[in-house]
Amino acid sequence: MALITLRQALDAAREGGYGVGAFNVTDLVQAEAVLDAARATKSPVIVQTIVGASAHRSDEFFWKALRNGIDDYPDVPVVLHLDHGPSYEDCVRAIEAGFTSVMIDGSLAADRMTHSTFEENVAITKKTTDYAHARGVSVEGELGTIGGSEDGGAHKEIVLADPDEAAAFVEATDVDALAVAIGTSHGAYKFTSPPDGSVLHMDLIVEIASRVPDTHLVMHGSSSLPADLRAVINAHGGTLPESWGVPEAEKARSTKLGVRKINQGMDSHMAFAAAVRSYLAEDGINVDPALYEKRGRAAMQAIVAERMEVFGQAGQAWRHELVTAN
């Protein structure tokens, strides 16, 4: 099994009626946590990272190590995905590095703050899709704008997806998956109160899914921001504000409405950070990163495994044995 495309992963998920978590990683320790969780739960998984998101000296250095690390998990169906590719050139770099899926975020202009026109979004997405599909790589596009900040930078305004534009966008670009803005937001601060129907527009998922039945929908900014993890982080020097994320029940419900890929970043990072901060408070003389990173890795693996159960992907790795055999 090992590496598969996003199209293969999400086609199988649609057939089985479940969602597949896409977990952001910024180093090999986090990647191992995600892959170990997938192995333990017998899940297909999407391992994803963002351009410039690691502490390594270059994307290429990190990406090569990430690609090689996945080879140690031949029993796990893995999509290696570039999240929020800011440019066509970045997507090409990822494809050349061995990624099996890329997201071209054409919803924003080059400054990453100004909203692109529909025509501009179509043009860069189609260019990326043509290049990727010719090389057997899947492509995810974005319609509307997911709010917040995926990389810790400036926060972007939410612009909800338009169902009429969704059908035209898919027809013009031939994307395999489509991230639709339904009110979710990136980052550690999302909502000032528990989100309801006035904030999370789940009805948009249903309407857009009916317009683009052969394209898989993606929910970005869907971390739940667990209050217990925030409390641990803040008890050990953190200053995270009180905030509500997307409830687990809503994420599970979204998989029954048409969402197949569910992006998770902050939850696993919060679990990692809470474990590291707790360890450092307990051991005031340790200066070896390996000791606290092991604690963080275990905490991240545990929460990722929990999310795999919620999304329904746990126990579904067998479906890709059939894909490989065929």
pLDDT tens-digit series, residues 124-148: 999 999 999 999 999 999 987 654 4
In sequence order, the 6+-apart residues with CB closer than 8 A to the CB of 191 are 185, 199, 243, 244, 245
Q: Tell which residue, 176, 6, 159, 148, has the closest CA to residue 80.
A: 6
Name the residue with tokens 């996003």: 6
Per-residue pLDDT band for 313 (boundaries 50, 70, 90) equals: very high
Of 35-49, 114-128, 292-306, the poorest mean pLDDT is in 114-128
pTM: 0.90
C-beta of residue 244 within 8 angstroms of C-beta of residue 225? yes
**Is residue 117 assigned to a domain?**
yes
User: What mean pLDDT do residues 196-204 have?
Assistant: 67
- Chain segment 9-37, per-residue pLDDT in tens: 999 999 999 999 999 999 999 999 999 99
Predicted pLDDT of residue 152? 47
More confident residue, 151 or 216: 216
CATH number for the domain harbouring residue 19: 3.20.20.70
Print the domain residue range for 190.
Answer: 6-325
Beta strand 101-104 with 216-219: parallel, antiparallel or unpaired?
A: unpaired
Arithmetic mean of pLDDT, 299-326: 88
Residue at 271 is within a domain: yes
pLDDT, tens digit, for every residue of 45-74?
Answer: 999 999 999 999 999 999 999 999 999 999
Task: Kindly state the percentage of the chain with pLDDT values over 90.
Answer: 70
Whether the pLDDT of residue 195 is over 80: the answer is: no
The residue among 303 and 112 whose pLDDT is bigger is 303
Number of structural domains, the chain?
Answer: 1
What does the pLDDT read at residue 251?
A: 84
Question: Would residue 72 show up in a list of annotated catalytic residues for this protein?
Answer: no
Would you say 45 and 20 are in contact if contact means Cβ atoms under 8 Å apart? yes
Q: 243 or 207: whose pLDDT is higher?
A: 207
pLDDT in tens, 248-281: 888 888 899 999 999 998 999 999 999 999 999 9
Within a domain: residue 101? yes
Asked whether residue 192 carries a pLDDT value surpassing 80, the answer given is no
Query: Buried b vs exposed e over 135-152: b needs ≥16 C-beta within 10 Å?
Result: eebbbbbbbbbbbbbbbe
Q: Give 201's pLDDT tier (boundaries 50, 70, 90).
A: confident
Domain membership of residue 1 (yes or no) is: no
For residue 159, what pLDDT band results from cuts at 50, 70 and 90? low
Residue 303 within a domain: yes
**Which of 36, 83, 151, 162 does the annotation list as catalytic?**
83
75 assigned to some structural domain: yes
pLDDT of amino acid 1: 57
